[in-house]
Amino acid sequence: MSKLFTLSAEQIISGVRNREFTIEDYVIQLLERINDIDDKIKAFITINDEALNTARKLDKKIKSQEAVGSLAGIAVGIKDNICTKDIKTTCASKLLQEYIPPYDATVVRRLKERDAIIIGKVNLDEFAMGSTTEFGSYGPSHNPWNPDYVVGGSSGGSAASVAALECTVSLGSDTGGSIRCPASFCSVVGLKPTYGLVSRFGLVSYSNSLEQIGPLGRTVSDIVMIMNVIAGFDENDNTTRNEIKTPGFVASDVKRPVRYGLIKELVEASDPAISKLVYSSLDLLSSNDCKWEEVSLNSDYALASYYTIAMAEASSNLARYDNLRYGFDFDPEGYEWNSYFSKIRNNFGDEVKRRIMIGSHVLLSGYYAKYYLKAQKVRSILRHEVKKLFKQVDVLISPTMPVLPFKIGENIDDPVKRYLIDTNTVVANLVGTPAISLPAGFSDNLPIGLQLMTDEMQEQLLFDVSKMYESVASIKRRPDL
Amino acid sequence: MVTIEHVKHLAWLSRLDLTNDEIENYHIEIEKIIRYLDRLDSISLSDVEPRHYERRVSEFRDDIIYDDNQTDLSKTTKYSKEGYVKGPRMR
């Protein structure tokens, strides 16, 4: 019964079903683990003080042979920009430091309907704006592989908590790589689904045409399990696709003949240790009957397009923070409209304020055509190029990140240098295709992730090839915590 | 070139009450970032339609009333009275 926190989601569910241990046993161990190590990792912002009660209620039902949901036993960490009813949801911002949502996001409601337990809310860059989880008002999260190093971001707490065995799985959000980047830096699996496959109802908006909620876990099977619960049409989000109402993804070991395309520009621009590992990953895949070839994707303008669109949408989506319907305690008595708003909005962090202002700039009537319209056109071209590539190959491969994790504070002063690390991940958001980061190995004990991308709504193919890669790469290491 | 005056204007448009120090610091970084985004100007895209995502929708939902009595909004702010939320004055 010891070290239940090392088990995967599948193992937890079967252990609970076979009465090997109770859900209460598991949750107690997780809470103790969080208590022991989270002051080093700082993955959590809030622990759900109802988690143990929920576990006990479920155990009672199991004992009296009543039916429980398919996720009974699973403990999920929820990124703190996803609304959880009656549990503080702060987006790591001073502006929302006291906000308690009166409703659950659709993804949270669906998890709870299957009896998953919300163990707590995890850390992020403020309003999901960042790639290192250094820009939140609760301070940085620390990499479980080396606490002096960044976890990646913006879903840094989601990745770190899974890697550090503080929860079974977690949910993050991915606007330009915010699930895949921390998954790569923390050596866990992280998926950004096809745009529209998972409801964004209850996700605090940053950039609504780019972002998706997605799962992070220690195995591909765990990711598939969560996707089967959270994915599917939602009438509360009219950007969700109605092709899938009830998903039925499988995580099988089926071998298929797959054509891989290695995006050569992204490998060439990577750290040498990373490109070396990517090539050896391709050798592993080739020895399993898979063919690969080099392909070219000109994504020179993709990053500029991404940041233009993301910042423009952010300036619009964050205009709602007027401290009247949600916010913190600050009496509007005596204030005039504009001065009240400007004063409370100064509680945004530096990175958020910069992005809102640049967003305003690119949407100005004199500049709109030069920036925003051009960025949307670049997006169209990129989509066309990617679709062409998917006629030639089935799966696109690249390193998830062009760099290894770096020290906390190292890149904090150079915004453009920080933005450049998103180069490999933004394409999938701009085009709307699904992409996954898989643990691929290490360099000097720092994790490296491999990114696989398929055409839109081809998640089953993505899961099949991911499961196959996972079994040949066989990365079994755990951080020393 | 992005001037300090322009940054002040962006702050006003974004309703951000920045200090002079903040305006100075952000000015340098904002100029760097905008200069990076300027590369979009170097490509000619007059023939391209800005259309990255298309979905044919010809469906209507039923015009029915439903009561969302699950969501209690009264606790989200303490500055409310009789179902109204208190706000700052217009002028």
Count, residues in chain B: 91
* Spatial distance between the Cα atoms of A408 and A337, rounded to a whole number of angstroms: 39
A109 touching B (Cβ < 8 Å): no
B residues 1-60 closer than 8 Å to A (CB): 6-7, 10-11, 13-18, 22, 25-26, 29-30, 32-34, 36-37, 39-41, 43, 45, 48-53, 55
Closest chain A residue by Cα to residue B18:
A346
Q: Which CATH architecture describes the domain A4-256+402-473?
A: Alpha-Beta Complex (3.90)
Min Cα distance B83 → chain A (Å) is 12
B64 touching A (Cβ < 8 Å): no
* Spatial distance between the Cα atoms of A100 and A341, rounded to a whole number of angstroms: 21
Count, residues in chain A: 481
Provide the domain limits for residue B24.
1-40
Q: What is the pLDDT of residue B43?
A: 82
CB atoms within 10 A of CB A478: 13
* Spatial distance between the Cα atoms of A214 and A196, rounded to a whole number of angstroms: 11
Q: What is the pLDDT of residue B70?
A: 63
Tally of domains in chain B: 1
A residues 112-171 closer than 8 Å to B (CB): none
Q: Which of A224-238, A248-262, B4-18 has the lowest mean pLDDT?
A: A248-262
Residue identified by tokens 């200090």 is: B19
Pairing of strands A435-443, A189-192: antiparallel
| Helix orientation angle between A350-363 and A302-317, rounded to the nearest 10 degrees | 100
Catalytic annotation present for A154: yes
Residue A448 makes CB contacts below 8 A (sequence gap 6+) with A184, A273, A274, A277, A399, A400, A401, A404, A440, A441, A442
A209 touching B (Cβ < 8 Å): yes
**CA end-to-end span of chain B:** 35
Q: Which of A276-280, A386-390, B45-49 has the lowest mean pLDDT?
A: B45-49
* Spatial distance between the Cα atoms of A141 and A157, rounded to a whole number of angstroms: 6
Catalytic annotation present for A264: no
Q: Which of A90-94, A319-323, A433-437, B77-81 has the lowest mean pLDDT?
A: B77-81
- Model confidence pLDDT, tens digit, residues A350-385: 999 999 999 999 999 889 989 999 999 999 999 999
In chain A, the percentage of residues whose pLDDT exceeds 70 is 100
A432 touching B (Cβ < 8 Å): yes
Q: What is the pLDDT of residue B35?
A: 94
ipTM, 2 dp: 0.91
Bridge partners (DSSP) of residue A76 are: A118, A169
Q: A119, A76 in Cβ contact below 8 A?
A: yes
Q: What is the pLDDT of residue B8?
A: 96
- Model confidence pLDDT, tens digit, residues A25-36: 999 999 999 999
Q: What is the pLDDT of residue B81?
A: 78
- Model confidence pLDDT, tens digit, residues A194-207: 999 999 999 999 99
* Spatial distance between the Cα atoms of A469 and A281, rounded to a whole number of angstroms: 8
* Spatial distance between the Cα atoms of A323 and A348, rounded to a whole number of angstroms: 12
* Spatial distance between the Cα atoms of B50 and A430, rounded to a whole number of angstroms: 12
Q: What is the pLDDT of residue B65?
A: 86
DSSP code for B63: -
Quick one: CA dihedral A26, A30, A31, A36, positive or negative?
positive
Interface contact B45-A381, CB threshold 8 A = yes
Min Cα distance A457 → chain B (Å) is 13
Per-residue pLDDT, averaged over A423-429, amounts to: 97
In chain A, the percentage of residues whose pLDDT exceeds 90 is 89
* Spatial distance between the Cα atoms of A325 and A322, rounded to a whole number of angstroms: 8
DSSP string, A36-76: HHHHHH--EEEE-TTHHHHHHHHHHHHHTT----TTTT-EE
Specify the CATH number for the domain of residue B14: 1.10.20
Q: A380, A160 in Cβ contact below 8 A?
A: no
* Spatial distance between the Cα atoms of A379 and A363, rounded to a whole number of angstroms: 17
Q: A23, A16 in Cβ contact below 8 A?
A: yes
pLDDT(A116) > 90: yes
- The whole-chain average pLDDT of chain A stands at 95
Catalytic annotation present for A209: no
Q: A206, A212 in Cβ contact below 8 A?
A: no
pLDDT(A54) > 90: yes
Interface contact A343-B17, CB threshold 8 A = yes
Of residues A440, A16, A479, the one with CA closest to residue A190? A440
Of residues A308, A98, A312, the one with CA closest to residue A205? A312
Q: What is the pLDDT of residue B56?
A: 67
pLDDT(A1) > 80: no
Of residues A211, A160, A166, the one with CA closest to residue A185? A160
Chain A residues in contact with B80 (beta carbon < 8 A): none
Q: What is the pLDDT of residue B50?
A: 78
Q: What is the pLDDT of residue B45?
A: 82
A1 touching B (Cβ < 8 Å): no
Q: A228, A251 in Cβ contact below 8 A?
A: no
- Model confidence pLDDT, tens digit, residues A392-411: 999 999 999 999 999 999 98
Closest chain B residue by Cα to residue A357:
B10
Q: What is the pLDDT of residue B71?
A: 65
User: Would B21 be classed as within a structural domain?
Assistant: yes
In the predicted model, residues of chain B with pLDDT beneath 50 are none
Q: Which span out of A109-123, A249-263, A288-302 was modeled with the highest average pLDDT? A: A109-123
Q: What is the pLDDT of residue A437?
A: 98
Helices H, strands E: what count in chain A? 16, 11
Q: What is the pLDDT of residue B52?
A: 64
pLDDT(A298) > 90: no
